[in-house]
Amino acid sequence: MIRNIIIFSLLWAVSLMASAHLSGFTDTSIQIAKPGVKIIYTLPSDNLLELDSSNNKAVAPPSSYMPAIINGWGIFTNKRSCFLRSSMAKALPKIAAYQYVLSYECPQGMNEMSIRYNLFAEQWRGHQNYARIFMANNRMRMRFTFDKKTLSLPVKQLLNEWGRPLTTTFFNTDPHSQLQVEGWGDPFSIKEASAQQITEAGTVKKTIHGQNYSSIDPSFIWLGMTHIWQGFDHVLFIIGLLLIPCAFKQLLLWVTSFTLAHSITLALSVLGVFSIPPSITEPLIALTVVILGIENLYYLYQQPKDDLTFKQRYRNRWWVIFCFGLIHGIGFSYLLQELSGGEDIWGRLLMFNLGVELGQIAIIVLLLIPIYAMFKWKYGLKIGGISSLLTSLVGAIWLIQRI
């Protein structure tokens, strides 16, 4: 039995080594103006390894992926394809992302428009591209997903309803980050109650009369949940909290400490109070996994040797977890920085953080009873020790990969 458990655990550990932090989420700003269409596409740089047929383990410069990015987008108006006028690529090292700018001309006119997105569909069925569309001083939003790859826009109809023409120029910068420049203002303000909004299904509907819901985007709850589930380093850390026998009060204290800590640094990082590059944060996150596993081994080794209560034995563990949570919160922030860029930041921060907490709770609820039963078994402490050792081993491999 023990040998089978060890073999299963080793296979589980190896499966985690390959991808600790591929997010599967991307962000796009789409500007529609008289010159044509401008796409600003931002994504985590390591995700581009999925598009690299050469099986390189290191991310290449941004320009290396430009052909794949261009092939992944298509702009069609009046049933004809628009042509690519220019393309640019740059790195965003502060959030470990690449950004691509594609500009299209549509000489056939833009009465009816279709925007096609077909990147990462084969790699991640759950991949989502959060898109913001800026047109005639209005902003719309939708998500490209595995089964929603095309957005259809009745441009002429919308302009007639709004009573506005297309703007004469594009933004010089990403409007997703610069909503209060060049006279655009806030297109979802109460004064713009008649503005149109693209729903996630790709259809058009009007906003609620006089109500401003732009700062609350419920889809970011699910984004936060899936982000923590897909971030195996965060998942492994949470699992590590459960790998020693403790009272429910101790577990609640640890989870609360971790939650409070990562909420603080997530907010401060997203709001721009400080900025720590992923090249520092990601190795530190891996190091927290290593240390947590080692600490578990220490407590499991001491377990049969003392008569201390859980409160006495783990009296210093909460502040260690709090410090580690501060590091993980910075790691959580990179995706939200990539997808927010200053737009509706408070609502998105609230929804995203709520999603992270719900995802964290789901993991704990799923494992709590099996792990409780494990420690009631005579081999429970041994399995906890083996699992903690594997936790440290996987964390050490991630640490070496990230340095």
Are 36 and 85 a contacting pair, CB within 8 Å? Answer: yes
Instruction: Give strand pairing partners of 41.
Output: 28, 100
pLDDT tens figures, 381-400: 899 999 999 999 999 999 99
- Which is more confident, 310 or 11? 310
Which residues lie below 8 Å from residue 255, measured CB to CB, with a gap of 6+? 241, 360, 364
Predicted confidence (pLDDT) at residue 197 exceeds the cutoff of 50: no
pLDDT of 175 above 50 = yes
**Helices of type H across 213-316:** 219-230, 232-241, 248-270, 278-302, 310-313
Summarised one tens digit per residue, pLDDT across range 31-57 is 999 999 999 999 988 888 888 766 666
CA-CA distance, 383 to 246, in Å (whole number)?
15
Token duo for residue 121: 């569909």
pLDDT of the residue at 210: 34
Name the nearest CA neighbour of 69 among 61, 80, 77: 61
Q: How far apart are CA 167 and CA 134, in angstroms?
A: 10
Predicted confidence at residue 23, as pLDDT, reads: 55
CA distances from 166 to 30, 37, 78, 96, 399 (A): 13, 11, 17, 34, 50
| pLDDT beyond 80 at 365 | yes
